[in-house]
Structure 1
Amino acid sequence: MVDKQRPLQLDEAGLEAARGHLDDGAVTPAYGPWREDIVSLLNGALATELICVLRYRRHHFMATGLESPSIAAEFLVHADAELGHADRLAERIVQLGGEPDFNPVGLPERSHADYDPVNDLKAMIRSNLIAERVAVESYRQMIHLVGDKDSTTRRLLEDILADEEEHADELKDWMARA
């Protein structure tokens, strides 16, 4: 039951706390203890997106076969989309006062998806579909973990998730063509 005796009010102490620590930019004390954990989750997603960019680009250049020209072109489109995701994640990490981890050392270990240097077109599609499905699941889990702790990050993750689901659907359709 909703208590109608108390009107909705902003937290004045929270507003006052936001007036300090101006060097923190948009990160107010309300982010609490979760900020570093969220930055860590975002850096894992960043590593995943970077691995996906590299895998899609390799597959773009290596694709051969009757259906390869159109699918290779789509691999490049997906690579560019994944790079856009990486840029958005890096930007959010910086907004949260963190540092985006672009270090190539350990990149595969930080990524949720694998880099797969297969050469067969059908194997490329399968590899990318697996990676997209892993991305879908990892973004779903991150969205759940972030919950209401950071609505801006949650919306970013939800937006990227929608793209990843679209990629997975396209790849499923390509499996039948290759």
Structure 2
Amino acid sequence: MESYSQNSNKVDFQHEARILNGICLITALGLVATAGLAWGAKYLEITATKYDSPQMYVAIGLLLLSMYGLSKDINKINTAIAGVIYLFLISLVAIVVASLAPVSAIIVVFSTAGSMFLISMLAGLLFKFDPGSHRFIIMMTLTGLALVIIVNATLMSERPIWVISCLMIVLWSGIISHGRNKLLELTGKKP
């Protein structure tokens, strides 16, 4: 029969795994939604047509201000406010990105990164990977790079799209690694 501490550790692990899988799912949906919103922004002409236009400065300023505010008061935000802020940030990123790149490139880059999160989450659930482990992050990075190769080779993308897709995968893997360490720090465990 299992002791109370072993049972408690198992419940803690399952709870942490559920939280990290939820974060992966929300991130995947957010990346795909960003691509969709960028298409909508371009279609509705909500983008700044010039890089030095006031709309572009306002969008980038709001984005940076929001990110700074989130980094300072992340522990004081409830779920509803976090959801609204997440949608706001996705919309701002979509407007900024739609102003800088063609929609087809945005869809390839953001959807590939979103697919990386979704496939990694599903593979982690199927093969019982700890979503907070280094093995999971390495698996996620390799999955993302394989997706970049497959998608960009199939679509015969240009070199800048290849480079940006690879950078996006590495960037998001680094963000997840940092987020994992932050979550472990918040729970009182050493990373």
Shared fold per TM-score greater than 0.5: no
Highest Rg: 1 or 2?
A: 1
Where is the helix percentage greater, Structure 1 or Structure 2? 2
- TM-score interval, normalised by the smaller of the two chains: 0.3 to 0.5
TM-score when scaled to structure 2?
Answer: 0.33
TM-score when scaled to structure 1?
Answer: 0.35
